[in-house]
Amino acid sequence: MLGLDFINQTIALNPSPISDSIKNLDLSKIDFLILNEIEGQEISGEKSLNRILDHLLSNYSFFKIVLTLGPNGVIYRENVQEHKQEAYNAKAKNTTAAGDTFLGYFLSMISQKHDVKFALTVASKAASLAVSRKGADY
């Protein structure tokens, strides 16, 4: 049926840059919350990684959370699984757009029906390549 394709869509939110208005959003329709450690601290009010993830899942049990940690990799957590992906070793020349690169590759892999672990691997490799090159601000 024409016009009903939106019914089975996956919605991802990347609250970047973080602002107070994001804290007041209705997040009940979000499937993937993709954020960095600073954004996680702001939204949850927690400081440690586990407490950030626990807080978010206790309030939004349906979330699939992707918490990026820069050179320390990324943690994916939902109610039934957790995956950790180490960052790939890269000599960073510029970190501009590293998060955007990660986000784009991760969502591309997920939309192509790849599993989360593979999506994290591809996205992490892409982000490491991005930081090893002159960035968007050169």
Task: Give catalytic residue positions.
Answer: 100
Asked if residues 128 and 90 have their Cβ atoms less than 8 Å apart, the reply is yes
Asked if residues 78 and 114 have their Cβ atoms less than 8 Å apart, the reply is no
CA distance 106 to 110: 6
Asked if residues 44 and 50 have their Cβ atoms less than 8 Å apart, the reply is no
